[in-house]
Amino acid sequence: MYVIHEKTRKNINEIMVSNMRNSNEKADVQYFEVIILYSLSRLKGERTIYSIYHLLKGKKSAQTIQDAHLFSLTALFMAYEGVKRESLEESIRTLQDKGLILETAPKRYILSVKGTECLEWELSKNPIPLELQGWKYHFASQFLWERLSLLVQVCSHISMKETRYVPIQKKRRTQLWIKNFVGNMGPGQRAVLPVELFKELTLALEELEQQIKPDILVLRLTGYQSAGMTEQQAAMELGMDEFRFHLEFLAILHALAKTADRRKEKFPLLSRLLAGEDGGRGSLTQTSRQTLKLLNKGLQIDSIAAARGLKRSTIEDHIVEIALNVPGFLIEPYVTAEEQEKLFLIAENASTRQLRELRDLSGGLSYFKIRLVLAKFGEL
Question: For residue range 111-130, what is the model confidence (pLDDT) as tens digits?
Answer: 999 999 999 999 999 999 99
62 and 186 part of one domain: no
142 and 267 part of one domain: yes
The number of residues in the chain equals 380
Q: What is the pLDDT of residues 217-256, one digit of tens each?
A: 999 999 988 899 999 999 999 999 999 999 999 999 999 9
75 and 51 part of one domain: yes
**Maximum alpha-carbon separation in the chain:** 76
Q: What is the rounded average pLDDT of the residues 313-331?
A: 87
Q: Which residues contact 333 (CB under 8 A, 6 or more apart)?
A: none
For residues 217 and 224, the answer to whether their CB atoms sit within 8 Å is no
Domain endpoint, select from 272, 299, 322: 272
**157: domain range?**
134-272
Q: What is the pLDDT of residue 279?
A: 41
265 and 356 part of one domain: no
Q: What is the pLDDT of residue 11?
A: 54
Query: What is the count of structural domains for the chain?
Result: 3
Whether residue 343 is predicted with pLDDT greater than 60 in this model: the reply is yes
Average pLDDT taken over every residue of the chain: 87
Q: How far apart are CA 34 and CA 244, in angstroms?
A: 10
331 and 219 part of one domain: no
Q: What is the rounded average pLDDT of the residues 23-49?
A: 89
Q: How far apart are CA 213 and CA 141, in angstroms?
A: 17
For residues 343 and 355, the answer to whether their CB atoms sit within 8 Å is no
In the chain, where does DSSP find H-type helix?
Answer: 6-21, 31-43, 50-57, 62-70, 85-97, 113-125, 134-159, 172-183, 187-207, 214-218, 231-238, 242-262, 268-272, 286-296, 301-308, 312-325, 337-349, 355-361, 367-376
237 and 351 part of one domain: no
Q: What is the pLDDT of residue 25?
A: 59
307 and 265 part of one domain: no
Whether residue 159 is predicted with pLDDT greater than 90 in this model: the reply is no
325 and 372 part of one domain: yes
Residue whose C-alpha is closest to residue 66's, from 325, 309, 254, 360: 325
Give the distance from CA 2 to its chain's centroid: 28
11 and 121 part of one domain: yes
Is residue 279 situated within a structural domain?
no
Q: How far apart are CA 110 and CA 117, in angstroms?
A: 13
For residues 267 and 200, the answer to whether their CB atoms sit within 8 Å is yes
Is residue 278 situated within a structural domain?
no
Comparison of pLDDT for 52 and 210, the residue scoring more: 52
Q: What is the rounded average pLDDT of the residues 145-172?
A: 90
Is residue 280 situated within a structural domain?
no
Q: Which long-range contacts (CB under 8 A, 24 or more apart) does 363-372 make?
A: 365/339, 368/316, 368/319, 368/320, 368/334, 369/334, 369/335, 369/339, 369/343, 370/343, 371/66, 371/320, 372/319, 372/320, 372/323, 372/331, 372/334, 372/335
Q: How far apart are CA 5 and CA 274, in angstroms?
A: 51
107 and 227 part of one domain: no
pTM over 0.85: no
Q: How far apart are CA 280 and CA 137, in angstroms?
A: 4
Q: What is the pLDDT of residues 57-106, one digit of tens each?
A: 999 887 898 889 889 999 999 999 999 999 999 999 999 999 999 999 99
In the chain, the percentage of residues whose pLDDT exceeds 90 is 54
Q: How far apart are CA 149 and CA 163, in angstroms?
A: 17
Q: Print burial letters for 337-348: b (CB count within 10 Å at least 16), e (below 16).
A: eebbebbeebbe
Is residue 211 situated within a structural domain?
yes
For residues 71 and 43, the answer to whether their CB atoms sit within 8 Å is yes
Q: How far apart are CA 310 and CA 193, in angstroms?
A: 50
192 and 101 part of one domain: no
